[in-house]
Amino acid sequence: MTIKEIQHEIVDEFSMFEDWEERFQYVIDLGKTLPLIDAQYKTDENTIKGCQSKVWLHAEEVDEKIVFTADSDAIITKGIIAILIRVFSNRTPQEILAADTAFIDEIGLKEQLSPTRANGLVSMIKQIKMYALAYDSKK
Amino acid sequence: MLDIQKIRADFPILSQKVNGHPLVYFDNGATSQKPQVVLDAISEYYSQTNANIHRGVHSLSQKATDAYELSRKKIQQHINAQHSHEVIFTSGTTHGINAIANGFASLLQKGDEVLVSALEHHSNIVPWQMLCERTGAVLKVIPINQNGELIQTEYDKLLSANTKIVAVNHISNALGTINPIAEMIRKAHTVGAAVLIDGAQAVPHLKPDVQALDCDFYVFSGHKMCGPTGIGILYGKEAWLNQLPPYQGGGEMIATVSFEKTTYADLPHKFEAGTPNIEGGIVLGTAVDYLNSIGFEHIAAYEHELLDYATEKLSEIEGLNIVGTAKEKTSVISFNIQGIHPYDIGTIIDKKGIAVRTGHHCAQPIMDFFCIPGTIRASFAFYNTKEEIDILVEAVKKAKAMLL
């Protein structure tokens, strides 16, 4: 599946929810089930400091694709990380660089990606793109 | 007794819906809402009075100057300053603190000490750190206990002949602790230190008497006391303000200017360079009149009732921990729920139309002391109600159920 197709799939999943409570409950549950980042990668270097919640992001290259693992100290942030990882992890740098995050608006979580939220997600997406750029230019 | 419904009708913003729910505004520690009289005064200023002040000979300029100076007098009376020229208009608390910290740069030398407290907002820490970097003075910190109170015996030990200035808040923004500043000021003066009080969180709840307190400087913001943003007050004792050099140079703060020598204007103009926030200055007077028309005794009594009610109701939630349990507290409750990040609670209850602050409240050292990433802070004003507290309690319970 392409990044676009996965994004459509996520939008479809969210369209089944009737209200914000169901949407947020789903995000919270995703947060709870996000595979834990390997403790050795929870370093200061991998920390993205939001003013409110913290995000840890680790990237490695596997078969010319970038695999991301991440974590947060806040569960809603972690749930959104799970969605972003589903979209961006295990992709080539070119795919990552070409993708956008407009689908987040469609699933009703737009405000979570607003810079004023200071939850580290905006910086996380920037960091994902930076990794893609770095791996891309290495070639 | 306050007629709360009548008071609420004075605040148009309170009747709006947020995310489909009636707004419950509990972020008063960040900024207060504005009553209609304040909104009207802003519009009236621009539609009927707007002109630059202290300069023009024309009538409109005179009218604006008179209104601005009348407001200064109102604020002088409100805080019981001896002279109106001890009341300096600033852009806010941060501006006031920076003006004094900069002024002290010429007075401090290596080995001198500046005392702040562990309860301070970053804006009452960083300017002093910058001052210490410039002068070689040393920053010392008055520690807090588990209740979030300043440890007075430690303060006594820190005070010495080296202490040149003590900068503490009247009320903590993060925890609501009311500090015993009168006693602290008295002690600082026995070693010859000046005292600056950050009154930003105090002025919405009480009427400070700067002469009774005997503080050397008292700073606060207009926007937390029903006034507009971008206006604040720096009160300083005349002798200090005369001694300190001005913070900014420019128009209005001078007596004569030549390329050889400029002489500064008298107080208060020496500290008011450039065209000030004229509208803000005038309307701050309106806000002070409004608060006085309600009466600070009534405000304090009612807010205390809200604090007690909220403390009792929130404490009934299992796993909820109130951070900051000082004996003397204003209407601020900072709390956490075991196993849940404050950001998550804030996000969920926002969906219910409730505005609280989450995070470290620009007071990271306090959060480090309690080993927490932040808190959820509900700060109440006289226009809040017990019914709104019930809504908060139910929303927190709901969030807890969703998140745990």
User: pLDDT tens, A66-95?
Assistant: 999 999 999 999 999 999 999 999 999 999
Q: Measured between CB atoms, does B353 come within 8 Å of chain A?
A: no
Q: Coil, strand or helix: which one is A28?
A: helix
Of B245, B276, B293, which residue constitutes the final position of a domain?
Answer: B293
The answer to whether residues B226 and B101 belong to one domain is yes
Q: Across the interface, do B343 and A119 touch by the CB < 8 Å criterion?
A: yes
Q: Measured between CB atoms, does A74 come within 8 Å of chain B?
A: yes
Q: Of A20, A28, A77, which is closest to B343 when you measure between CB atoms?
A: A77
Q: Of A20, A28, A52, which is closest to B358 when you measure between CB atoms?
A: A52
The answer to whether residues B51 and B144 belong to one domain is yes
Q: Which of A107-111, B33-37, B313-317, B355-359 has the lowest mean pLDDT?
A: A107-111
Helices and strands: H and E segment counts in chain A = 6, 3
CA–CA dist B394, B239 (Å, integer): 53
CATH of the domain at B270: 3.40.640.10
Q: Which of residues 116-135 of A touch B (CB under 8 A)?
A: 118-119
Which of B155, B150, B218, B217 minimizes the C-alpha distance to B190? Answer: B155
Domain coverage including residue B195: 39-293
Which of B71, B1, B63 minimizes the C-alpha distance to B38? Answer: B71
For the record, the structure tokens of B253 come out as: 């703060």
Output DSSP code: residue A35: P
CATH of the domain at B380: 3.90.1150.10
Q: Which of A115-124, B69-78, B318-327 has the lowest mean pLDDT?
A: A115-124
| Cα B242 from chain centroid (whole Å) | 24
- Which of B19, B336, B343 is the best residue to mutate to test the A interface, defined by the most A CB atoms within 10 Å of its own CB? B343
How many domains does chain B contain in total? Answer: 2
Q: Are B304 and B331 in contact (CB under 8 A)?
A: yes
The answer to whether residues B197 and B107 belong to one domain is yes
The answer to whether residues B12 and B25 belong to one domain is yes
Q: Measured between CB atoms, does B107 come within 8 Å of chain A?
A: no
What is the band of B54 on the pLDDT scale with cuts at 50, 70, 90?
confident
Give mean pLDDT, residues B186-191.
98
Of B241, B275, B293, which residue constitutes the final position of a domain?
Answer: B293
CA–CA dist A9, A31 (Å, integer): 18
Total count of residues recorded for chain B: 404
Residues of B with catalytic roles:
362
Q: Measured between CB atoms, does B403 come within 8 Å of chain A?
A: yes
Give mean pLDDT, residues B137-166.
98
Q: Measured between CB atoms, does A76 come within 8 Å of chain B?
A: yes
The answer to whether residues B253 and B388 belong to one domain is no
Of B268, B293, B318, which residue constitutes the final position of a domain?
Answer: B293
The answer to whether residues B229 and B97 belong to one domain is yes
What is the band of B40 on the pLDDT scale with cuts at 50, 70, 90?
very high
Half-sphere exposure of B73 (CA within 13 A, CB side): 6
Contacts with B18 from chain A: Cβ below 8 Å: none
Q: Which of A12, A35, A51, A98 is catalytic?
A: A51
Q: Across the interface, do A118 and B359 touch by the CB < 8 Å criterion?
A: yes
CA–CA dist B96, B234 (Å, integer): 5
For the record, the structure tokens of B344 come out as: 């998550």
For the record, the structure tokens of B317 come out as: 């939630």
For the record, the structure tokens of B208 come out as: 């400070």
Contacts with B403 from chain A: Cβ below 8 Å: 28, 75
Q: Of B344, B347, B359, which is closest to A51 when you measure between CB atoms?
A: B359
Which of B195, B343, B116 minimizes the C-alpha distance to A52? Answer: B343
For chains A and B, what is the number of CB pairs under 8 angstroms? 41
Q: Are A61 and A134 in contact (CB under 8 A)?
A: no
Q: Measured between CB atoms, does A17 come within 8 Å of chain B?
A: no
CA distance B403 to chain A (A): 7
Q: Angle of helix B93-104 relative to helix B126-135, nearest 10 degrees? A: 10
What is the band of B258 on the pLDDT scale with cuts at 50, 70, 90?
confident
The answer to whether residues B391 and B319 belong to one domain is yes
Q: Measured between CB atoms, does B358 come within 8 Å of chain A?
A: yes
The answer to whether residues B73 and B132 belong to one domain is yes
Q: Which residue has the tokens 């919640």?
A: A53
The answer to whether residues B332 and B200 belong to one domain is no
What is the band of A51 on the pLDDT scale with cuts at 50, 70, 90?
low
Q: Across the interface, do B373 and A77 touch by the CB < 8 Å criterion?
A: no
Residue A115 pLDDT exceeds 80? no
Q: Of A24, A75, A118, which is closest to B341 when you measure between CB atoms?
A: A75
Rg, chain A, Cα only = 14
Q: Which of B214-218, B245-249, B311-315 has the lowest mean pLDDT?
A: B245-249
Q: Are B72 and B214 in contact (CB under 8 A)?
A: no
Q: Measured between CB atoms, does B377 come within 8 Å of chain A?
A: no
CA distance A92 to chain B (A): 33
| Cα B61 from chain centroid (whole Å) | 31
CA–CA dist B217, B165 (Å, integer): 10
What domains are defined for chain A?
3-138 (3.90.1010.10)
- Which of B21, B122, B340, B341 is the best residue to mutate to test the A interface, defined by the most A CB atoms within 10 Å of its own CB? B341
The answer to whether residues B129 and B264 belong to one domain is yes
The answer to whether residues B192 and B299 belong to one domain is no
Which pLDDT belongs to residue A50?
67
Which pLDDT belongs to residue B152?
98
Give mean pLDDT, residues B286-313.
98
Which pLDDT belongs to residue B107?
96
Contacts with A52 from chain B: Cβ below 8 Å: 342-343, 346, 358-359, 374
3-state secondary structure chain B: CCCHHHHHHCCHHHHCEECCEECEECECCCCCCCCHHHHHHHHHHHHHHCCCCCCCCCHHHHHHHHHHHHHHHHHHHHHCCCCHHHEEEECCHHHHHHHHHHHHCCCCCCCCEEEEECCCCHHHCHHHHHHHHHHCCEEEEECECCCCCECHHHHHHHCCCCEEEEEEECECCCCCEECCHHHHHHHHHHCCCEEEEECCCCCCCCCCCHHHHCCCEEEEECHHHCCCCCCEEEEECHHHHHHCCCCCCCCCCEEEECCCCEEECCCCHHHCCCCCCHHHHHHHHHHHHHHHHHCHHHHHHHHHHHHHHHHHHHHCCCCEEEECCCCCECCEEEEEECCECHHHHHHHHHCCCEECEEECCCCHHHHHHHCCCCEEEEECCCCCCHHHHHHHHHHHHHHHHHHC
Q: Across the interface, do B348 and A119 touch by the CB < 8 Å criterion?
A: no
| Cα B80 from chain centroid (whole Å) | 17
For A28, which residue in chain B has the nearest alpha carbon?
B403
Which pLDDT belongs to residue B124?
97
- Measure the CA angle with vertex B162, ends B161 and B167; round to 5°: 105
What is the band of A35 on the pLDDT scale with cuts at 50, 70, 90?
confident
For A77, which residue in chain B has the nearest alpha carbon?
B344
Q: Measured between CB atoms, does A18 come within 8 Å of chain B?
A: no
The answer to whether residues B299 and B283 belong to one domain is no
- Which of B122, B347, B350 is the best residue to mutate to test the A interface, defined by the most A CB atoms within 10 Å of its own CB? B347
CA distance B279 to chain A (A): 28
Strands B332-337 and B375-379: antiparallel
Residue A9 pLDDT exceeds 70? yes
